[in-house]
Amino acid sequence: MSPRPAIASVLDGLVDMHVHSGPSPFPRRFDHVEAARDGARIGMRAMVAKSHHHNTQMDVLAMQGRLADVEAQVFGGIALNSTVGGLNVHAVRMTLRMGGKVVWFPTISSGRHLDCHPEDGAFPTTTVPLTLERIDIVDGEGALKPEAIEILDEIKEQQAVLNGGHMYPEYIKTLFEEAHERGLKRMAVSHPDFVIGADPALCRELIELGAFVEHEVGMYDPEGTQKWDPKNLLTWIETLGPEHTVLASDFGQKANPKPVDAWLRVGEALLDLGLPEKDLRRMVRDNPAYLLNLDA
């Protein structure tokens, strides 16, 4: 076995809140157990399995036997797209009460995502033909739909994480304002500069409401499909502050490297650019551990 690179010691205890392991209608590189087992290379403490199509908590429970010898904790969640009935509080309730940790508001069913991907509303091509419908969280007057509010209350009751999904920035702000009013403590907005289009000024408003801004290291991996410049990620971190930032992988797709390899490459790139080790640790370990309430 080859020795662990030095960056692995900095990443030790990492919590990845955005892993696209399988099963999934989208082609995936590996399943949740294999993803968690591979995380041992960097001492991963926990991960959240995300699917755009189904409740992953039931996957995790079905895999408990195989997870018995895996050190990392594995959690699931639910994305409120049309394949789970959209704003379906019953599906949310089951997911969270069975141990799920994250509720992503509409991703591939959001109007913003469909604007960006009008050909099929998705990133890769699904392995089976599926239907997809747009899901909006506001009514014709711009007010949150009652079912969205009911879901917020369930998230609060279960102390789970509210994620803004891939929605229009103004919808995310409306949702988070209501969440803040209702006393939700754990909120995150994913990749504000990918699909969503939320600028730093809006992100600051979301931070004031109690949200963390999640950036995906997979997008900055030179071996991945996006290959963004890590300097841009550092600029975001410096602009908003590591105390308000969470880093996640957003990897697991068949066409991309393993999440751990992206963590190693991008983590090292950030340190080479001058990011202090303590700030990297905070964003990959402390902040996501707080969101998942791991130390309660």
Span 255-290, pLDDT tens digits: 999 999 999 999 999 999 999 999 999 999 999 999
Residue 21: predicted pLDDT: 96
Residue 126: predicted pLDDT: 87
Using CB atoms within 10 Å of the CB of residue 125, give its burial: 0 to 12 exposed, 13 to 18 middle, 19+ buried.
Answer: exposed
Do the beta carbons of residue 78 and residue 91 sit within 8 Å? yes
**Distance, CA of 251 to CA of 260 (rounded, Å):** 9
Residue 144: predicted pLDDT: 98
pTM score? 0.95
Sorted by where each starts, the structural domains of the chain and their CATH numbers stand as 6-291 (3.20.20.140)
Residue 125: predicted pLDDT: 82
Residue 29: predicted pLDDT: 86
Residue 121: predicted pLDDT: 41
**Distance, CA of 253 to CA of 30 (rounded, Å):** 8
Residue 122: predicted pLDDT: 42
Residue 194: predicted pLDDT: 92
Residue 123: predicted pLDDT: 58
What tens-digit pLDDT sequence spans the chain (296 residues)? 355 678 999 999 999 999 999 999 998 989 999 999 999 999 999 999 999 999 999 999 999 999 999 999 999 999 999 999 999 999 999 999 999 999 999 999 999 999 987 654 445 788 898 889 999 999 999 999 999 999 999 999 999 999 999 999 999 999 999 999 999 999 999 999 999 999 999 999 999 999 999 999 999 999 999 999 999 999 999 999 999 999 999 999 999 999 999 999 999 999 999 999 999 999 999 999 999 999 97
